[in-house]
Structure 1
Amino acid sequence: MYICRMKLEEGKYKFIQAWGSLGSSWGISKSMAQIHALLLSSQDGLSTDEIMEQVQLSRGNVNTNVRELINWRLVRKETVLGERKEFFVAIHDVHTIAQNIMEERKRRELEPVRRLLNELINTKIEGDEKEVAHFQTLLADLADFVHQMENLTNLMTKINNNNYMKKLIKAIS
């Protein structure tokens, strides 16, 4: 059931703005999220010039953010025979998008924290006995939490790679 009417371009604009605002929640800049939303909402690939025009960003900003989206495995570069321009296409499978975001955040956020915590846990810390004990308990609790988060990320990756599990989760939700 449709409640109101809206032109496609207006809907895309609202989506791009909202996705851009959400970007900072999952660790990327507003510009990167807006470009991702534009490419997601586009059936075909877009050139750098088309992206610049539609999201009103500089060439350097677009190039930097598109390169980062490629690193996150959310966008791929395509060439078209007879065209000198490169075109950028978003990955449109929602499960793949979620998996790639989780894996990248794990690599950028969880793994460095885990390494730091392990280093601190394996270091002989000197000082007031109660304070050292409190600090070591904190480190152990944080290390356990990070380990659980990594396990959860790994589980989500396994689920995303298993069509049966995807259907089961959809059926029970």
Structure 2
Amino acid sequence: MSAVRTALTALGAAAVTLLLLTLYTATGAAGEGRPEIAVVDGMVLEPTNDLQGSAYFTLRNTGEGADRLLSVSSPDLPDGVMLSRVLVRDGAGSMRPLDSLPVPAGAEVRMDPWEGNIMLNRPPGLKPGQPVRFVLRFAVSGEVEAVATTVTIAEFNSRS
């Protein structure tokens, strides 16, 4: 009887282990590493009007897992900021909100007007050289603080 009980205990433990491994794999977590996000090369394009402006960063993911930029805020811009992109239709461009921006594992994503940028609502007279603080929120990595420097269009074009 003791041998049967030992065999059943071992079989039960193996079944539970197999079930847990199956669930772990089914969630998509098995084998995927964590992202390692760095936010660098921040630039705010000197606004040409009082209504809106734009900011750009390079998002580096040196980790083994993907991430997504979900939202952005700035303590320096009281009227708010948002992820956006430019859509061109019939030769005219217009800003559209962007739900998120993917940052694949091992990749570098350079923000640009067409794939994703940060729209500044009513920027308060930003001048070249002026720093602007941002908080970028990622799905996995959480909040990352970054600073962008205000640049002229000529500086922006030479750096991008």
- TM-score of the superposed pair, with normalisation by structure 1: 0.21
Q: Rg bigger for which structure?
A: 2
Point out which structure has higher relative CO (alpha carbons under 8 A, 6+ apart).
2
Q: Which structure shows the higher helix fraction?
A: 1
Q: Which structure shows the higher strand fraction?
A: 2
- TM-score of the superposed pair, with normalisation by structure 2: 0.22
